[in-house]
Amino acid sequence: MRKVYKRWPDAAERMATVTLDFRGYETMKTRLAINRIDYLPELSRIRVPAMCAVGSISWPLSVPYMQKTADALPGCKQLHVIEDAYDPSNLCQVEVFNRLFGTFLRTVV
């Protein structure tokens, strides 16, 4: 984790700390199982405002998949692709994410 997140020292430290508690084999099996879940059809039932955000340098399929997620959520009006961020983008670009999320919250409160 520290290697992946080396550009963002705070994110690297938090991710490294969290992953130390993971049990390798079980975590891998869980991740593979989660990746097989097609939750997109269920998103149309969500009737609350939503904000979607993804890091611009995340896994190659992350941005297109997040776009599909945003398109499937009736309450999501746009997708934010946060530049120079891996996921979780809120740890890599804290100020940018907080500004976007603050703007989103002001529109729904």
Q: Is residue 2 part of a domain?
A: no
pLDDT of residue 18: 79
Q: Is residue 76 part of a domain?
A: yes
Q: Is residue 65 part of a domain?
A: yes
Q: Is residue 60 part of a domain?
A: yes
pLDDT, tens only, 28-69 = 888 789 888 899 999 999 999 999 999 999 877 889 999 999
pLDDT of residue 27: 80
61-100 in b/e form (b: 16+ CB < 10 A) is ebeeebeebbebbeebeebbbbeebbbbbbbbbeebbeeb
Q: Is residue 101 part of a domain?
A: yes
At position 51, the amino acid (one-letter code) is: M
Split into its structural domains, the chain has a count of: 1
Q: Is residue 68 part of a domain?
A: yes
What mean pLDDT, rounded, does the chain reach? 90
Q: Is residue 6 part of a domain?
A: no
pLDDT of residue 46: 95
The closest alpha carbon to 52, from 84, 77, 30, 20, belongs to: 77
pLDDT of residue 28: 82
Q: Tell me the residue range of the domain where 89 lies.
A: 38-108
